[in-house]
Structure 1
Amino acid sequence: MQDALAAHPVWVIVVDYILGAIMWTLIGRAAMNIFLPEDSNFFFMRFFVRATDPVLRLFRPITPGFLIDFLVPIYVAWFFFMIRFYLMPWLLGYSVMGMLSFPLESEIAALLYQAFNR
């Protein structure tokens, strides 16, 4: 976390964590939808549906009608990826940062590296 704070202002880290959490929750919903229907009583699926329905409703006007329902969360998650990878660095005056440059994913990768390389 100290590396991310040294490289970016705190508000950038907070915005990236929020956008990253939304993106990964949308991806989680699509992944859970492979195994369970959206109206399942399984608590994880209920969480993913409740957490992502407002975001999907917000993006409904720009979501193509020909998309399969399963792909809609992936399509919307792609927007959050594009914002995090291209728009945020551009607004901050940086060039595109590259793979694993997102603060959220960098922290997770560092934790996994520490956990499995002891």
Structure 2
Amino acid sequence: MTITDPLAVFPIWVIVFDYLMGVIMWTLIGRVAMNLFLPEDSNFFFMKVFVKGTNPIIRVFRPITPGFLLEPLVPLYVAWFFFMIRFYLMPWLLGYSVMGMLSFPLEGEIARALYDMVN
């Protein structure tokens, strides 16, 4: 199994954009996961950071967020948009038909680090 360097495959702006979108997506998912155990107004430092960092993004998506969604699931809904942009829009804009799973540069770097730790 060979894991290629993302800089050898993609231009630097794609890597930076994907990392930014990936961090936003995973932060939104992290907020949902932490919200399973803690309320949004918790004094726990990480919950405060997740809420404060993601509230502006959720506010931007509020006009297209369905009203029937439970409030704790709204960040997951917004994270879905970032996933769709990363998985479908970016490859289409770059001229690829399919990028495939784990071809996201951010997740690819994490997979490479885990692979290097095991082997």
TM more than 0.5: yes
What CA distance in whole angstroms lies between the structure 2 residues aligned with 1:13 and 1:77?
19
Confirm whether residue 12 of structure 1 aligns to residue 51 of structure 2.
no
Output the aligned Cα RMSD: 1.2
Structure 1 equivalent of residue 106 of structure 2: 104
Q: Secondary structure at the match of 1:35?
A: coil
What CA distance in whole angstroms lies between the structure 1 residues aligned with 2:108 and 2:14?
14
Gaps of 5+ in 2: none
1:116 Cα deviation (Å)? 2.2
Matched positions, count: 117
Structure 1 equivalent of residue 47 of structure 2: 45
Which of 71, 75, 83 lines up with 1:73 in the alignment?
Answer: 75
Gaps of 5+ in 1: none
Structure 1 equivalent of residue 116 of structure 2: 114
What CA distance in whole angstroms lies between the structure 1 residues aligned with 2:4 and 2:118?
21
List structure 1 runs of 4+ shifted beyond 2 angstroms. Answer: none
Q: Secondary structure at the match of 2:42?
A: coil
What CA distance in whole angstroms lies between the structure 2 residues aligned with 1:4 and 1:108?
12
- Residues 83-98 of structure 1 mapped to structure 2, 5 A cutoff: 83-98=85-100
Report the AA paired with residue 29 of structure 1. R
Q: Secondary structure at the match of 2:97?
A: coil
User: More displaced, 57-66 or 89-98?
Assistant: 89-98
Report the AA paired with residue 34 of structure 1. L
Q: Secondary structure at the match of 1:94?
A: coil
Q: Secondary structure at the match of 2:43?
A: coil
Bigger proportion of residues as helix = 1
